[in-house]
Amino acid sequence: MLHPGQTIGILGGGQLARMMALAAAPLGLRCHIFAPPGDNPAFDVSAARTVADYENQEALAAFAAAVSAVTYEFENVPAATAAFLAERVPVMPGPRALAVTQDRFTEKSFVRDIGLGTPDFRAVDDLASLEAAVASLGRPAVLKTRRFGYDGKGQAVIRPETDLAQAWDTVGRQPSILEAFVPFLREVSVVAARGRAGDVAAYDVCENAHRQHILSTTTVPADLDGAAMHAALEHAARIATELDYVGVLAVEMFVIEDDGRERVLINEIAPRVHNSGHWTIDGAETSQFEQHIRAVAGWPLGSTRRRGRVVMENLIGDEADRWRAYLAEPGVHLHLYGKAESRPGRKMGHVTRVIAE
Binding residues for ATP: 104, 144, 149-155, 179-182, 187, 210, 267-268
Taking CB under 6 A as the criterion, the residue among 10, 142, 143, 205 binding ligand AMP is: 142
Give the x-and-dash track for 85-124 against ligand AMP (CB under 6 A). ----------------------------------x-----
CB nearer to ligand AMP: pick between 211 and 305: 211
Cβ(243)–Cβ(257) under 8 Å?
no
Q: Which residues are annotated as a binding site?
A: 104, 144, 149-155, 179-182, 187, 210, 267-268
Q: Is 148 in the site for ligand AMP (CB under 6 A)?
A: no
CB nearer to ligand AMP: pick between 233 and 256: 256
CB nearer to ligand AMP: pick between 43 and 181: 181
Provide the residue type at 327 as one letter.
L
Q: Is 213 in the site for ligand AMP (CB under 6 A)?
A: yes
Task: Give the whole-angstrom CA distance, residue 137 versus residue 157.
Answer: 13
Taking CB under 6 A as the criterion, the residue among 181, 186, 225, 302 binding ligand AMP is: 181
Identify the sign of the CA torsion 332, 336, 341, 346. negative
DSSP 8-state secondary structure symbol assigned to residue 30 = E
| CA dist 237 → 242, 254, 270 (Å) | 9, 17, 14
Identify the sign of the CA torsion 182, 187, 193, 199. negative
Provide the residue type at 24 as one letter.
A
Taking CB under 6 A as the criterion, the residue among 73, 75, 103, 179 binding ligand AMP is: 179
Helix intervals (H) in 138-287: 164-170, 226-242, 280-283
Using CB under 6 A, which of the segments 84-92, 179-187, 274-282, 323-331 binds ligand AMP? 179-187
Burial class (CB in 10 A: 0-12, 13-18, 19+), 200: middle
Binding site for ligand AMP (CB under 6 A): 119, 142, 149, 152, 179, 181-182, 187, 210, 213, 252, 267-268
